Amino acid sequence: MKLFGILLCCWVFAVGATPVLTTVHSGQSQHWTLAQLQQQLPVQQVSLDDPSYNQRKNYRGFNFSKLLEKTGFPPLQDDDTLVLTASDGYAPTLAAAQLQQQLAMLVFAEAGKPDFEFTPLQQGKGLISPAPFYLVWPGVGKAAEHFAWPYQLVKIELIRFRDRYAQVIPAAGASAQVQQGFSLFKQHCLKCHSINLQGGVLGPELNAPKNVTEYWQQHDLKAFIKKPESYRYQSKMPAFHFFSDAEIDAVLAYLQQMKQQKIKR
């Protein structure tokens, strides 16, 4: 299946404005208000252990796979990728295979509260609302850290990963360790960081014009990845305490490889 920039979602969420969902598919655009989505989809309540709040939460929202279907998305193929972009630039990717294995919900409010109303959530040094939309994963339990939980969701785009992120892929013939590091980086790091200006913008660019391994000592990088707050209080970067030492070494091997693949401007 050929994909040419299939987009879901450009939400306008400003004071006094009604959030509008724009779906773009095969050159056709359609705009959805929450009321229109509710006419197409049943609103469901879901209760789950939320890793963003570190407590049990109850939400109202839509089955995410059904929402994609009702807003015109074609059936997802195994090699398809969804890019989920938040208003602050956080942009995790979601493999179609992962979505096919687990239930995801796109929620728009806490249960018992008005539409788009959530308890403020601590992010770095401030408090924010997850509105307008927040993607959650009921039932994943302790595996929650292996899934993307983007809030303030404003755009979802269906792509082929190689088409959008060609500059982050290690060269053919890279070692097995580098390939493992790339897989981990793609799943956990690309959502916030870019390589060669491709990826998230919430965190710093890590390869160009200088690779992060050129100005951070390796032992500091390893410790920072494990526990960012041991270096910066109220760091926005989460602690990757679940990474083994071998997995961190693989990520660093990938970054070392990308030193040889810098873009030039």
Q: What is the mean predicted confidence (pLDDT) over 91-109?
A: 89
Confidence of residue 226 (pLDDT cuts 50, 70, 90): very high
Instruction: Please say whether the beta carbons of 249 and 257 come within 8 A.
Output: no
- What is the domain class of 167-261 according to CATH? mainly alpha
User: For the chain, which residues make up each domain, given as ranges?
Assistant: 6-163, 167-261
Residue 88's DSSP bridge partners are none
- Which pTM does this prediction carry? 0.72
pLDDT bracket for residue 16 (50, 70, 90): low
| DSSP assignment letter at 151 | B
d(CA 42, CA 215): 52
CA–CA separation, 70 and 157 (whole Å): 15
Q: DSSP state, 71?
A: T
